[in-house]
Amino acid sequence: AQAYIGRYGADIDDLWADVAARAPGGFGGKFRVGGRHKVDMQDTTDRAEKFRAMASVPELRGLPPDSTDLVPARWNYAQLFRWYRYLQSGAVAYVDGWWGRDLDEVANRIHFAVRDADARSALEARLKALDLPCYLVAIEISTAPSPFD
């Protein structure tokens, strides 16, 4: 099988951003919780129509309606991905104590991890200066994973 190469490189975030551009309803991500499929959607009305539309998108085809929940989402994945790439591109320069970031489809936000309250305050100041939309970013204080974990 050939690796997926999207507009920004070869990664799953790029793939989901492309899916969001093709899937009606504002696709915001796909995940599983407790044996159930969850699909973030900006528009969760008309469930039957959403499943018909998802069937036309290869990456979403075959989701069983009886064990799939449509979860209301503020952002579609393409929007999250564009914000994420903007922040990655230098809009948020390195902050001492910041060790991780990710697109979090479960929370439908961009997630940053920092080591302590000082790093959180420094990152919050950088983000505030950018005047980002509400609920776009979540910041968690946690320890960085060991490379041996």
| pLDDT digit string, tens, across residues 109-131 | 999 999 999 999 999 998 999 98
Is 147's pLDDT higher than 90? no
Please, which pLDDT band fits residue 14 given cuts at 50, 70 and 90? confident
Q: Which residue has the higher pLDDT, 94 or 29?
A: 29
Distance of CA 83 to the CA centre of its chain: 10
CB-based contacts of 143, cutoff 8 Å, min separation 6: 115
Nearest to 32 by CA among 91, 106, 95: 106
Is 7's pLDDT higher than 60? no
Please, which pLDDT band fits residue 78 given cuts at 50, 70 and 90? very high
Please, which pLDDT band fits residue 10 given cuts at 50, 70 and 90? low
Distance of CA 67 to the CA centre of its chain: 22
Helix (H, G, I), strand (E, B) or coil at 39: strand
Please, which pLDDT band fits residue 50 given cuts at 50, 70 and 90? very high
On whether the pTM is more than 0.75, the answer is yes
